[in-house]
Structure 1
């Protein structure tokens, strides 16, 4: 049997289909996934935050549609007498230079090193958006832990084609924030069980590639 820390909780597993169906825009499937997520222990705040964050990876239209679906799910559950845990709202994040500094620090911690390169020299505005908005405004919100945020990101990216390099980066970040190889393999299995074999395969391929690179670098 796997050790407890090598197994995703029911709550963590529930993030996989929510993220994937948000990315693909499959609302009937997302409806079921949101219900299962709430049943598995996701709070209303958790669920909202996952869908809010995913706009940065899937675009506003997918995120807005998913949030509308969550509203529908919560209304239906309330009519059935289900009282879902509201969770908690995030504390305020800094502004101005303090936000940029925090976002830069978060990005460095998540990535394992400062992020730079010719792409960001070519388009410095996107570097600022990443540091200030994604890793500042969003990742600094404390109502959802970083492991959950990374699972949501991996689930969404895996469901989309053509973003393999970004998926690869977030597999590495997932390991950096303490998710384990068995947990990520389990995450891929959950995607397969929920009917997205392609997404599952992308997670497995990215994880295998990361492990191969780590081995070549002499890391465990």
Structure 2
């Protein structure tokens, strides 16, 4: 097969997949300044990466929503991929929960900005997905005590991240014990205990976000453990990280793979 026909195949394959999640005219906006970037985006992003096995289209779109919300620097692309998630069968509730989840890793302002973009995307396609706020509750109750939240959070932490998560909290006891308590109460007692996303999807979103941020390797390792602990496979971990090459760059993906290798080796060694 000639290099020309190979390139055409990648482009056509990518364009067909792009059409499943959005308007292919999105790449036309580059025609007057960088048409090759439009072509390369279709060939690499969609022809190569999106066509890989290992993740469903729904999973890929939720990973994008998580990563772009965490980065906080690409609102137009976040809106595009929220629309793409809806077209891939993701519900509004799942999108909202994914963005709320990111408040733990990128901060509440990032989540607030992400929800603003989500509101715009929902308004532009009112028939897609389901209601954004229906059954919008977690496990908590109005007037519950901090002890209740802590107990629920500690149970979730142990189930999701296991020993790796407990080590993080234990490491704070001599310098910032309240921070450890907040991690348990808010991150796991409030956010992780909410309905709307299963635990494996929450960990997939976390791996995507932490990879894209590129500054939290220790936390990425913890949540790779967590993704595996909640039913994710090693292939799904690697595919999530590989996809981030498109949205956060190759260095972020390479660092993510290094973290994954360390986690896999640790699990193989300790059994």
TM-score bracket for this pair, using the shorter chain length: 0.7 to 0.9
**Structure-2 residue corresponding to 1:162:** 215
| Superposition pairs of residues 1-220 of structure 1, within 5 angstroms | 7-25=54-72, 26-78=74-126, 82-86=127-131, 88-94=135-141, 95-96=144-145, 97-113=147-163, 114-115=166-167, 116-194=169-247, 196-217=249-270, 219=271
For residues 154 and 108 of structure 2, the distance between their equivalents in structure 1, rounded to whole angstroms, comes to: 24
* Deviation per residue, 1:150-188 (Å, 9 max, x gap): 111111111113211111111111111110001112212
Q: Decide whether the 8 Å contact of 1:154 with 1:170 is kept in 2.
A: yes
C-alpha displacement of 1:18: 1.1
Q: Decide whether the 8 Å contact of 1:191 with 1:199 is kept in 2.
A: yes
C-alpha displacement of 1:90: 3.0
For residues 107 and 51 of structure 1, the distance between their equivalents in structure 2, rounded to whole angstroms, comes to: 20
Q: Decide whether the 8 Å contact of 2:63 with 2:208 is kept in 1.
A: yes
For residues 165 and 188 of structure 1, the distance between their equivalents in structure 2, rounded to whole angstroms, comes to: 15
Q: Which has the higher contact order (CA 8 A, sep 6+)?
A: 1
Count of aligned residue pairs for this structure pair: 210
TM-score w.r.t. the length of structure 1 is 0.87
C-alpha displacement of 1:92: 4.2
Alignment RMSD: 1.9
Q: Decide whether the 8 Å contact of 1:15 with 1:155 is kept in 2.
A: no
Structure whose CA Rg is larger: 2
For residues 153 and 162 of structure 2, the distance between their equivalents in structure 1, rounded to whole angstroms, comes to: 14
Q: Which runs of 5+ in 1 are unaligned?
A: 1-5
For residues 87 and 107 of structure 2, the distance between their equivalents in structure 1, rounded to whole angstroms, comes to: 27
Q: Decide whether the 8 Å contact of 1:159 with 1:198 is kept in 2.
A: no
C-alpha displacement of 1:123: 0.9
Look up the SS of the partner of 1:84 in the other structure. Answer: coil
Q: Decide whether the 8 Å contact of 1:11 with 1:37 is kept in 2.
A: yes
